[in-house]
Every structure is written in structure tokens, then in C-alpha cells.
């Protein structure tokens, strides 16, 4: 297990370098620079700005300097926000994004597994059809539609929850977490239903039933462990997706998370911020995938033997 | 399983309760909640460039004069009074005797000298040094042609007297002084965090920030909220009634609208495009549509063969039904624009006309060699991606096709791509807008002079240049307006830019907010604003 862990970590290093290199050159190919503004910046001022941020050096020199700084853990200063470093900005938004993703995944797991397992156990009944129909709607409904609908119902008409914010007003974390978690809950519901159906047909489940165990024990003590392996495999990419894809929810609910920084950096051609967040998200995706693979190995001895 | 669903529902419902309206507690505590558009890039008045930055900075720092909230001439700010020499070249400002920085230090005339030296230091990379180019030798110092700052026309006579020498009479000079680029910064604080030209210093952080406005910086959480609270060191402290202002950087207009409806904001930055006509129809009492010193226009690239002919440009301008656009497309109180400078800018009334006359437009196009639009190359309208711009471009496309029989294509681009294409002249017609920096026609007409970066049309005109130079060298305001009026006539006759409509500021405001007067620059000094139950 440990060797797998370290082997995968080693493979991650060249992946990060490739991602950084491609991003570095791609953003410089995009038309428009960080200092293009509605009110034209005078040429002499632009010259000084370029010199301040090392943009007057040849691109290869800029690349070399960036990689050297990166090796020392320095993502550089933000071009958009003078006086703020990219590292500082990432760590400003990260706790909020993590918290949002954590609540969202908790909701997704709770609702998803509950409805998925129920659907599998009560196959071809209304307890199967209704949750699965809702799950399909959840997968199809984009967050930019679900968010405002929830806000209108609970924030504007019922006036029981704040319509925006994060940690400022009581209950302001509920709607964003549900909005972000809903689509993932739907995926998890379908995955857990599929996994459970397959497991419930296994011989060892039939044996358990033949031994006279209650249905509750059959499902929770025996079937659940095998039935949820697809869900666990999905959790790694899901967590990375939640953190990287929270931009829409952060915008709808006015949440100061990392997703907003990432997307706004792209619009503003904030080169260092784009690079910093891309590298950071790449590391997170690799890490979460690795963790989820390791968990699957722990849960499934067969997979462990095959590696 | 049903019990799990019921439990979850119960937990959710129990965790919520009827919210106490935020604005009720805000009213008791005099806390203004303000939707402020995007996140301010910087709170350094010499680095900042945008409207959201201005909304915060006007609370934190103060210049020699402040904008009159009810319009008209500027009011005293840090300067309690000033003398102007007969030739209009020397201004002597007498500072408020009790003017202090928020850390308690005395604010002295030398602070202005050092601050203006800072913004004119080229290596700082400030984008607004030209606001001080009216000072003698300021442009030369910024360009590096002179090295000794004492040659620039600003000097501290004593602790509370500042003498400013201009290179030419500038009757609107005191209006420039309410622009944040001319405001003072605290020398000791800035030098604690770097050199005079360090734009990345951390002096603008809460705890470090020192300035001289009615409020001081309490907290700044990126993308969440900026809080400013009352500054007891402010010279006019007793006049300030608000205890705090909370600025929310809300990019999404619909989110902001929902926050206002849910009672989380007193003032919004904008009204969503699709909501404005609905609110107007409903006579929504919270909707405000105020005049604003800005013009929405189309820029023509006069270096292109087909647009090099002024008859073509006039034909395009005369084929646009502006009234139809403001009534049926923008639909939020905008006014059709028949001049570049908005009417009523400090008493200036441009005497120009742009008729909607499709027949005359056709005739002009024919005179330019394109009878009934034949052989006229496909015309491209460039605009940045936004629904409002697209709708207007669609309407104009249709008008030009119907009235002039020419082919028009629409090209929308990401904001930075659009700016980049405008900068290098890679466009035929491009959407544009210009908001005045101060209330004077000069802030508009100056942009279209030959050597100005914001001209972007490639258009030059010797008579226009001469008139602008003359206007900028006289101390007689009536004569100056006459000269500017003549320049404006040339502009509208040559039509390098095609005015479409005059902007309005549309936003929502709670009836509890008092002292919030509509004014051309949308400046709202916090010392005049307070909260009171309507």
C-alpha cells in the first residue's frame, strides 16, 4: 500500500510540471493582457507596470524565473490585486471552499446513499421509482437554476433563510450546501443503487439470508460494504469537482471562495493567479483521486491483490 | 426509511427561524449596507482606478475639495478655503486647522506635496497621473524630463498653506481635487511598507491603513465584505452620523437584487437589465434612476477606407433611431444622446443635433460613393459580451440594414479581447462608453484630441485641436464653454464617434437612507448620508 502511495506521488510531479508549463504558455497566447483597461494605460505607465511584474523579459526567461520561484513555493504577486500574493489569496478562499465542499459532500452522501440503498432494497416499487426520478432531475438541473429557486422559496417568500453570505448570518450555509450537494447526491444515489443491486445478488448475501439474518443486518452489515465501492471511487473526483466547480454556487450566494478567484483571474488575465490556482487544483485532484483509490483498495481485497 | 426523511426535514426546518431583518438592527446602529459591484483592486488612492474603489475611498480619504452632493461647485474638503490669482494660475489652499490623519498625526501641506510627488513618480505605475498634468512641470516630471520635484508647481508655504501653480488657467481645477488620484496619502505609513514607488506595499491592509477621511478601515475580507467605521480624528467628525458602512462586492446582479429584496442591503450597485423596465412599470418606490455623466457611443475606426469618409460616418449616425433604442431596447430611463458631452455638465449645454433621417442618411451614403449601399463592405460591430450591448447592437444592425441597405455583422468578445482589439485598432465599429472623471465638458472632449490614448478612432482635426488648446488656456469660463461648444460641433459634424444614449444610474435604495442626493458623478460623501425610519 505504502509503495503504491509513493509511486503515485512520484508520477504526480511530472504531471504538475506539464500542467504548469502548458498553462503558462496558453495564458500568454490569449489576446489581451493584465493591464488592458477601459481607460487606456499610457505607454510609459505600461512600461513601468511590465517592468514591475517581469513581463518585459523574454517569455522563456519569465518561464524560467516562474519555475524557480515555484520550486521555492512562491506563486508570485497577483497582477489584479496589488499588494496581495497569490499564495495569500489561495489560502484566503480555500477554507471557505473546503467548508462548502465538505457540507455539500455530506449532504450528497447522506441523501444519495439513503435513497440509493432504499431504491435497491425496494426495487421496482414506488420507493425505487420516486427517488431515482428525483435523482435524474437532480443530475439534469444545473446549480444556476436550483440555487435561485431555493433562494426564492426559502429566502424571499418564506423568509426563513438568508439569500446570500457565508458565516455572516445564521443559517446562511444551508442553501449553498444543498445547491452544491444536490447534483452529487443524485449521482451517488444512482451509483449506490447500482452497486447495491449487484451486491444483493451475490452468493454470500443469499447465504446470509439463508442463515436467517434480518433484512436490516443483511443490508447494513453485509451488502453495504461491497455495494458502496463505486460510491467511494466516485468520492475522490467528486470532492475535487466540488472544490474546483463551486464557482457558480459561490457567485449565486456571494461566497468568498476560491472558485470565484479562479474564474475572475481568467477573465482579468491575472497570469500568476491563474497559474497558482491551476497548480493548486491539479494537486488537489491528484490527491483526492489517490485517496479514493487507496480507500477502494482498503475496502476491496480483490482489488488489493490485483495491484 | 420514511423516518429518516422526516428527521432530515425536521433538522432543516428547526435550524431555521424567521430571520430578524438585518436592516432593522442596522438602522438602530447607523450601519449602511451597500452593494458595491466588484471587489476593489486596491485601496491605495494612487493605484485604484474603478468606481467600486471610489465608493470605499470616498469614506476613507479626503482631498482638498469634495463633490457637492446636490451638484454645483465643489465644497471645502481638507481645504477650508482657497484663493485664486487673477490670472487663474496660482491657487493658495488653506487647510482645515484641525485636519488630522486617522492615527492622530497632523495633516500638513507638505503631505500634499509628497503625495503628489508619489503619483507623479513614473515607476509607481499610477494610471491617473494626468489628473495632475495641469500643474506646472508635472507632466515633464512624470515623463522624466526634469528630475527635481521642486520645479513642479506645488509647494508648502507653511504647515497649513499649500500653493499650487498651474501651467495654464484651469477653471475646473478645484473639481479635479475631489478625484481620488489627487488625495493625500500618509508618508510615514507608506514608507514603513516600502519605497515611494512601491505599488505592492501592505499599507492598505486593516490595521495598517492610515488616511484622513470620515471613516477608517476596520476590516477587509476579500470577495466578502469591507467594513469602515467612524474616524474620530476626522476634522468634521460631528457631521458624520453613520457608524459603519459595509461594502459587499457583488458581481452577480440577480444576487444583489435578491439580497435587496430579502432586506440584506440598503443600496444596490445596479438593477438587473431585465428587472429595470418591470420595476419602472410597477412604480417600485425603491428604484432610483438618476442622471449620470456618461455617454454610450459607437467608436468608428477612421483609418479604414470605408469609414475614412465623414459622409459615411454621418450616414451611419443619421440612420439610428435613438429614441426607439432608449424606449424599446435599453428601457431604463436612458436619454437619447445628440452630443458626446452629456447636456448639463456644469452648466454646459452642447448645441448639436443628430437627426434620425434615413433619407438624408441614404443620400450621404450615395454621395460617399455607395448608392443604395451597393459595394459597401460588410461592416462589423465589435462589443464585449453582455446581453445589454448585444440587444443594442442587434437593433442598430437592423436599422443600418433597413435604412442603408448594408450588411452588418456582430462580433462579441471577452472583455480583455475586446480591449486588446480596440487598443491595436483591429475593429471597424466598436461599442464604447465614457464616464466623466469630473463635472466639466473637458473630461469628454479632451479624450478625442489627437494624442490621447482613449481616442482610439484614428481621427484628428486641426481646428478641433486649436479650439481645445484655446479653451485650455483661458480663465474666462464663458469663452471656454463657447470654444468647447465649437469643438463639440466639429466633433458631431465629423462623427468619429456616434453617440447613442446618455447614461443613467439605476439602482435600488431603501427609503431609510437619507441625505443620498442624485448627482452627476454619483458621489455620495458619507458625512451627508444617514439612516432614519421612513
A280 belongs to a structural domain = no
Backbone angles phi, psi at B42, to 5 degrees: -155, 155
List the one residue out of B246, B242, B209 whose CA is nearest residue B228. B246
**Domain match, A45 and A152 both:** no
pLDDT at B409 over 80: yes
Backbone angles phi, psi at A174, to 5 degrees: -70, -55
CA angle B269, B273, B275 (to 5 degrees): 90
Backbone angles phi, psi at B31, to 5 degrees: -115, 120
Cell of B522: 454619483
Q: Residue B315: in which H helix or E strand, if any?
A: helix B310-318
Q: Is the Cβ–Cβ distance between B118 and B196 less than 8 Å?
A: yes
User: Cα(B524)–Cα(B522) distance, rounded to whole angstroms?
Assistant: 6
- Which parts of B197-290 fold into alpha helices (H)? 253-261, 276-281
pLDDT at B8 over 70: no
pLDDT tens, position by position, B31-42? 999 999 989 999
Q: Which of A16, A34, A68 is the last residue of a domain?
A: A68
Q: Nearest C-alpha of chain A: how many angstroms from B82?
A: 31
Instruction: Give average pLDDT by consecutive 10-residue segment, chain A, 307 residues.
Output: 80 92 94 87 85 91 95 91 90 91 93 90 87 83 90 90 87 93 89 90 87 85 85 84 84 90 90 94 87 81 65
Q: Which residues of B447-471 are buried (b: 16+ CB within 10 A; e: fewer)?
A: bbbeeeebbbbbbebeebeebbebb
Confidence of residue B21 (pLDDT cuts 50, 70, 90): low
A88 belongs to a structural domain = no
The cell 449620470 sits on which residue? B292
User: By three-state DSSP, how is residue A117 classified?
Assistant: helix
Question: What are the angstrom distances between the C-alpha of B108 and each of B99, B145, B155, B156, B246?
Answer: 8, 28, 11, 8, 30
User: Cα(B222)–Cα(A156) distance, rounded to whole angstroms?
Assistant: 26
DSSP symbol at B271: -
Closest alpha carbon within chain B to A251: B252
Q: Is the Cβ–Cβ distance between B124 and B133 less than 8 Å?
A: no
**Domain match, A188 and A41 both:** no
Q: Is the Cβ–Cβ distance between B393 and B420 less than 8 Å?
A: no
User: Given an 8 Å threshold on Cβ–Cβ distance, is A260 in contact with B223?
Assistant: yes
What is chain B's mean pLDDT, rounded? Answer: 92
Integer-rounded Cα radius of gyration of chain A: 24
Cell of A7: 509511486
Q: Which string of DSSP letters, residue by residue, matches B35-96?
A: E-SSPPS---TTT--SHHHHHHHHHH---SEE--TTSSSPEESSEEEEEE-TTS-EEEEEE-
Q: Nearest C-alpha of chain B: how many angstroms from A134?
A: 14
Q: Which residue has the higher pLDDT, B493 or A48?
A: B493
Model pTM?
0.89
Interface test with B, best of A40, A76, A261 (most B CBs within 10 A): A40
Q: Nearest C-alpha of chain A: how many angstroms from B284?
A: 17
Q: Nearest C-alpha of chain A: how many angstroms from B213?
A: 22
Q: Which string of DSSP letters, residue by residue, matches A147-174?
A: HHHHIIIIIIIS--S-SS-SSSSTTTTH
pLDDT at B288 over 50: yes
A307 belongs to a structural domain = no
Residues 6+ apart with CB under 8 A from B424: none
pLDDT at B434 over 50: yes
Q: Nearest C-alpha of chain A: how many angstroms from B382?
A: 14
User: Nearest Cβ partner of A40 from B203, B261, B453?
Assistant: B453
Q: Which residues of B389-417 are buried (b: 16+ CB within 10 A; e: fewer)?
A: bbbbbebbbebbeebbebebeebbbbbbb
**Domain match, A143 and A57 both:** no
Confidence of residue B18 (pLDDT cuts 50, 70, 90): very low
Cell of B262: 430579502
Residues of B in contact with A261 (CB under 8 A): 222-223
Confidence of residue B49 (pLDDT cuts 50, 70, 90): confident
Beta-bridge partners for B81: B94
User: By three-state DSSP, how is residue B501 classified?
Assistant: strand
Residues of A in contact with B261 (CB under 8 A): 156, 163
Closest alpha carbon within chain B to A33: B416
User: Cα(B446)–Cα(B463) distance, rounded to whole angstroms?
Assistant: 14
Q: Is the Cβ–Cβ distance between B223 and B237 less than 8 Å?
A: no
Q: Is the Cβ–Cβ distance between B242 and B231 less than 8 Å?
A: no
**Domain match, A116 and A58 both:** no
Q: Nearest C-alpha of chain B: how many angstroms from A33?
A: 7
DSSP symbol at B385: S
Lowest mean pLDDT among B102-106, B341-345, B525-529: B341-345
Q: Which residue has the higher pLDDT, B258 or A138?
A: B258
List the one residue out of A183, A193, A220 whose CA is nearest residue A124. A193
pLDDT at B2 over 50: no
Give me the pLDDT at residue B394, please.
97
Closest alpha carbon within chain B to A158: B18
User: Given an 8 Å threshold on Cβ–Cβ distance, is A52 in contact with B15?
Assistant: no
Residues of B in contact with A82 (CB under 8 A): 41-42, 44, 47, 199-200
User: Cα(A279)–Cα(A16) distance, rounded to whole angstroms?
Assistant: 7
Question: What are the angstrom distances between the C-alpha of B270 and each of A122, A264, B34, B49, B251?
Answer: 52, 20, 11, 19, 10
Q: Is the Cβ–Cβ distance between B208 and B202 less than 8 Å?
A: yes
**Domain match, A100 and A222 both:** yes
User: Given an 8 Å threshold on Cβ–Cβ distance, is A44 in contact with B1?
Assistant: no
Beta-bridge partners for B298: B431, B498
A113 belongs to a structural domain = yes
pLDDT tens, position by position, B176-203? 999 999 999 999 999 999 999 988 888 9
Give me the pLDDT at residue A297, please.
81
pLDDT at B14 over 50: no
**Domain match, A248 and A127 both:** yes
CA dihedral B25, B30, B35, B37 (to 10 degrees): -150
Phi-psi region of A259 (alpha: psi -120 to 50; beta: other; left: phi over 0): alpha
A185 belongs to a structural domain = yes
**Domain match, A131 and A7 both:** no
A128 belongs to a structural domain = yes
Residues 6+ apart with CB under 8 A from B115: B46, B183, B184, B185, B187
**Domain match, A45 and A155 both:** no
- CATH code, domain with A127: 1.10.3720.10
User: Given an 8 Å threshold on Cβ–Cβ distance, is B8 in contact with A154?
Assistant: no
**Domain match, A50 and A101 both:** no
User: Given an 8 Å threshold on Cβ–Cβ distance, is B415 in contact with A41?
Assistant: no
**Domain match, A59 and A113 both:** no
Burial group, residue B56, by CB count within 10 angstroms (0-12, 13-18, 19+) = buried
Closest alpha carbon within chain B to A82: B200
User: Cα(B93)–Cα(B88) distance, rounded to whole angstroms?
Assistant: 14
pLDDT tens, position by position, B441-490? 999 999 999 988 899 999 999 999 999 999 998 989 999 999 999 999 99
Q: Residue B513: in which H helix or E strand, if any?
A: strand B513-514
Give the orientation angle of helix A174-200 with respect to helix A229-244, to 10 degrees. 160
User: Cα(B130)–Cα(A49) distance, rounded to whole angstroms?
Assistant: 16
| Contacts by B203-207, CB closer than 8 A, 24 or more apart | B203/A83, B203/B44, B204/A83, B204/B42, B204/B43, B204/B44, B205/A83
CA angle B492, B495, B496 (to 5 degrees): 130
User: Cα(A240)–Cα(A187) distance, rounded to whole angstroms?
Assistant: 15
Residues of A in contact with B421 (CB under 8 A): 31
Closest alpha carbon within chain B to A50: B125
pLDDT, average across residues B314-342: 96
Q: How many domains does chain A have?
A: 2
Confidence of residue B20 (pLDDT cuts 50, 70, 90): low
List the one residue out of B496, B521, B462 whose CA is nearest residue B67. B521
User: Given an 8 Å threshold on Cβ–Cβ distance, is B44 in contact with A39?
Assistant: no
**Domain match, A9 and A50 both:** yes
* CA end-to-end distance (rounded Å), chain B: 52
Q: Which domain covers residue A225, as residue numbers?
A: 93-268
Phi-psi region of B211 (alpha: psi -120 to 50; beta: other; left: phi over 0): beta
Q: Is the Cβ–Cβ distance between B271 and B507 less than 8 Å?
A: yes
User: Given an 8 Å threshold on Cβ–Cβ distance, is B251 in contact with A31?
Assistant: no
pLDDT at B397 over 70: yes
Q: Is the Cβ–Cβ distance between B429 and B380 less than 8 Å?
A: yes
Residues 6+ apart with CB under 8 A from B376: B306, B365, B370, B404, B406, B407
User: Given an 8 Å threshold on Cβ–Cβ distance, is A160 in contact with B200?
Assistant: no
User: Cα(A267)–Cα(A123) distance, rounded to whole angstroms?
Assistant: 48
User: Given an 8 Å threshold on Cβ–Cβ distance, is B262 in contact with A257?
Assistant: no
Cell of A259: 472558485
**Domain match, A161 and A20 both:** no
Q: Nearest C-alpha of chain B: how many angstroms from A154?
A: 10
A305 belongs to a structural domain = no
A153 belongs to a structural domain = yes
List the one residue out of B249, B179, B244 whose CA is nearest residue B214. B244
Cell of B96: 482645515
Amino acid at each position: 500500500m505504502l509503495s503504491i502511495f509513493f509511486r503515485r506521488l512520484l508520477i504526480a510531479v511530472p504531471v504538475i510540471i506539464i500542467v504548469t508549463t502548458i498553462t503558462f504558455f496558453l495564458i500568454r497566447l490569449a489576446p489581451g493582457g493584465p493591464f488592458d483597461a477601459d481607460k487606456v494605460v499610457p505607454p510609459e505607465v505600461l512600461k513601468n507596470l511590465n517592468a514591475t511584474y517581469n513581463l518585459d523579459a523574454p517569455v522563456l526567461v519569465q518561464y524560467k524565473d516562474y519555475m524557480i520561484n515555484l520550486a521555492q513555493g512562491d506563486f508570485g504577486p497577483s497582477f489584479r490585486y496589488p499588494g496581495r500574493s497569490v499564495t495569500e489569496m489561495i489560502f484566503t478562499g480555500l477554507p471557505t471552499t473546503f467548508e462548502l465542499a465538505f457540507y455539500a459532500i455530506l449532504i450528497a452522501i447522506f441523501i444519495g446513499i439513503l435513497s440509493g440503498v432504499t431504491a435497491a432494497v425496494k426495487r421496482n416499487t414506488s420507493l425505487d421509482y420516486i427517488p431515482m426520478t428525483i435523482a435524474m432531475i437532480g443530475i439534469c438541473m444545473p446549480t444556476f437554476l436550483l440555487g435561485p429557486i431555493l433562494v426564492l422559496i426559502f429566502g424571499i417568500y418564506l423568509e426563513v433563510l438568508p439569500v446570500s453570505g457565508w458565516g455572516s448570518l445564521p443559517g446562511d450555509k444551508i442553501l449553498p450546501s444543498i445547491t452544491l450537494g444536490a447534483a452529487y447526491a443524485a449521482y451517488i444515489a444512482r451509483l449506490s443503487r447500482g452497486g447495491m443491486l449487484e451486491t444483493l445478488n451475490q452468493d454470500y448475501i443469499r447465504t446470509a439470508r439463508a442463515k436467517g439474518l434480518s433484512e436490516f443486518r443483511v443490508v447494513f452489515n453485509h451488502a453495504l460494504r461491497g455495494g458502496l465501492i463505486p460510491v467511494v471511487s466516485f468520492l475522490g473526483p467528486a470532492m475535487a469537482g466540488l472544490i474546483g466547480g463551486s464557482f457558480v454556487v459561490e457567485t449565486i450566494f456571494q461566497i468568498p471562495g476560491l472558485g470565484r478567484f479562479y474564474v475572475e483571474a481568467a477573465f482579468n488575465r491575472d497570469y500568476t493567479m491563474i497559474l497558482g490556482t491551476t497548480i493548486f487544483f491539479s494537486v488537489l485532484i491528484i490527491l483526492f483521486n489517490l485517496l479514493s483509490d487507496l480507500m477502494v483498495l482498503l475496502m476491496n481485497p480483490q482489488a488489493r491483490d490485483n495491484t | 426509511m420514511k423516518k429518516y426523511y422526516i428527521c432530515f426535514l425536521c433538522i432543516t426546518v428547526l435550524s431555521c427561524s424567521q430571520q430578524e431583518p438585518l436592516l432593522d438592527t442596522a438602522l438602530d446602529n447607523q450601519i449602511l449596507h451597500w452593494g458595491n459591484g466588484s471587489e476593489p483592486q486596491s485601496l491605495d488612492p494612487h493605484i485604484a482606478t474603478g468606481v467600486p474603489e471610489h465608493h470605499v475611498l470616498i469614506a476613507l480619504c479626503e482631498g482638498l475639495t469634495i463633490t457637492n452632493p446636490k451638484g454645483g461647485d465643489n465644497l471645502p474638503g481638507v481645504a477650508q478655503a482657497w484663493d485664486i490669482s487673477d490670472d487663474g494660475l496660482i491657487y493658495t489652499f488653506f487647510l482645515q486647522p484641525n485636519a488630522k490623519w486617522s492615527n492622530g498625526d497632523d495633516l500638513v501641506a507638505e503631505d500634499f506635496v509628497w503625495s503628489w510627488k508619489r503619483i507623479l513618480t513614473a515607476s509607481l505605475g499610477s494610471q491617473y497621473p494626468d489628473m495632475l498634468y495641469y500643474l506646472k512641470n508635472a507632466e515633464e516630471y512624470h515623463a522624466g524630463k526634469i528630475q527635481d520635484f521642486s520645479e513642479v508647481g506645488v509647494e508648502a508655504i507653511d504647515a497649513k498653506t499649500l500653493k499650487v501653480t498651474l501651467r495654464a488657467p484651469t477653471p475646473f481645477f478645484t473639481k479635479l481635487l475631489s478625484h481620488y488620484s489627487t488625495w493625500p496619502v500618509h508618508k510615514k505609513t507608506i514608507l514603513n511598507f516600502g519605497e515611494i514607488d512601491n505599488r505592492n506595499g501592505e499599507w492598505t491592509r486593516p490595521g495598517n491603513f492610515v488616511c484622513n477621511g470620515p471613516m477608517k478601515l476596520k476590516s477587509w475580507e476579500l470577495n466578502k465584505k469591507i467594513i469602515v467605521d467612524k474616524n474620530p480624528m476626522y476634522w468634521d467628525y460631528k457631521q458624520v452620523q453613520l457608524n459603519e458602512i459595509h461594502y459587499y462586492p457583488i458581481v452577480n446582479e440577480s444576487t444583489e437584487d435578491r439580497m435587496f429584496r430579502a432586506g440584506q442591503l440598503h443600496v444596490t450597485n445596479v438593477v438587473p437589465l431585465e428587472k429595470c423596465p418591470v420595476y419602472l412599470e410597477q412604480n417600485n418606490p425603491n428604484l432610483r434612476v438618476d442622471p449620470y455623466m456618461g455617454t454610450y457611443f459607437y467608436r468608428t475606426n477612421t483609418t479604414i477606407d470605408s469609414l475614412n469618409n465623414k459622409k459615411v460616418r454621418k450616414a451611419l449616425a443619421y440612420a439610428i433611431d435613438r429614441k426607439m433604442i432608449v424606449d424599446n431596447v435599453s428601457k431604463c430611463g436612458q436619454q437619447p444622446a445628440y452630443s458626446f458631452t452629456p447636456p448639463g455638465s456644469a452648466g454646459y449645454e452642447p448645441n448639436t443635433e443628430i437627426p434620425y433621417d434615413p433619407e438624408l442618411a441614404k443620400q450621404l451614403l450615395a454621395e460617399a460613393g455607395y448608392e443604395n449601399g451597393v459595394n459597401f463592405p460588410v461592416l462589423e460591430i465589435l462589443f464585449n459580451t453582455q446581453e445589454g450591448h448585444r440587444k443594442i447592437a442587434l437593433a442598430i444592425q437592423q436599422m443600418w440594414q433597413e435604412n442603408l441597405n448594408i450588411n452588418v455583422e456582430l462580433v462579441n468578445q471577452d472583455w480583455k479581447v475586446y480591449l486588446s482589439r480596440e487598443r491595436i485598432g483591429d475593429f471597424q465599429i466598436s461599442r464604447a462608453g465614457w464616464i466623466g472623471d469630473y463635472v466639466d465638458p473637458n473630461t469628454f472632449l479632451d479624450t478625442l484630441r489627437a494624442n490621447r490614448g482613449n481616442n482610439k478612432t484614428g481621427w484628428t482635426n486641426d481646428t478641433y485641436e486649436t479650439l481645445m488648446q484655446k479653451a485650455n488656456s483661458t480663465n474666462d469660463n464663458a469663452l471656454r464653454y463657447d470654444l468647447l461648444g465649437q469643438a463639440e460641433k466639429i466633433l458631431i459634424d465629423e462623427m468619429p464617434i456616434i453617440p447613442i444614449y446618455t447614461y443613467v444610474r439605476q439602482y435600488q435604495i431603501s427609503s431609510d437612507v437619507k441625505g443620498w442626493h442624485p448627482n452627476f458623478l454619483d458621489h455620495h460623501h458619507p458625512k451627508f448620508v444617514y439612516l432614519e425610519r421612513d
